[in-house]
Amino acid sequence: MTIQVTKAHIARHWLAALAVALCTAPSHAMLVTTPAGADATEGNSSNCIPVTGCVDSDRYQQVYDSSLFTSVSGPQDITELLFRRDLTSPAPFSVDFSNVVISLSTTQASAATLSTNFANNVGADAVDVYSGALTVASASAGGVPAPLDISVVLQQAFTYDPAQGNLLLEWVNLGGESYSGFFADSVFDHNDGTARIIGFAPGSATGLADTSGLVTAFRLGAAEVALPSTLALFGIGVAGMLAGRGRNSAALSQTQ
């Protein structure tokens, strides 16, 4: 009887560890394209700032209203930014930047209220999500709209919760590279939920604002919660088995 109880005890430890491991497995990522409807429609404008580098040094901010993220529920980790080639741009293309700093933050500034003062727009939770050399490239050679294949995989994920405010992207070109003739797809509309501010030096305190904005897609996944790793769970299971064995051995010793 004692041996049967011990086996059941071991099985419970294993099942508990397995259940927690399965529950903490990463969720599938989702892609949110902004502004609304842009996933299948070419924008009515084009933009060479900042992703294709027609200004040798610049500071760029673009705000995305939280209303553009209606499909997002709760905090989500942004892990990748995607843009696309404008139909007027040569294809394919590739440009290299030696030093780019990209940051994301949650802001109370909106497309309608974006300040011309850069600092006023930055949220308290600002994170540098990319810093260093960056190659911006599109391999697509056709299609309207072009695929969202201008990818920036973030070095640091940013946790965004639309319920807390709007999303601010800041891109600073510190390297001074300048390219001409390459354009990214953009939308110019007063009611599209996005707007930008442009400064013509990396340290610009103020800039020019308008309602244009790059068509941008964000790859998101559920924000991770700090939980025991699979290895730790395995250890818990093993420890449980050993404890069960110890108690069983003690019980057998007492009955002998």
Strand order in the sheet with 194-199: 127-138, 93-107, 166-173, 58-64, 194-199, 208-210
pLDDT at 15 > cutoff 80: no
Cis, peptide link before residue 228, omega less than 30° from 0: no
Condensed to tens digits (0 to 9), the pLDDT of residues 184-213 reads 999 999 899 999 999 999 999 999 999 999
CATH of domain 27-222: 2.60.120
What span, in angstroms and rounded, lies between the C-alpha atoms of 133 and 219?
21
Record the pTM.
Answer: 0.78
**Contacts of 54 by beta carbon, 8 Å cutoff, 6+ apart:** 48, 178, 179, 180, 182
Q: Report the pLDDT value the prediction gives residue 24, as an integer from 0 to 100.
A: 43
What are the extents of the domains in the chain? 2-21+237-255, 27-222
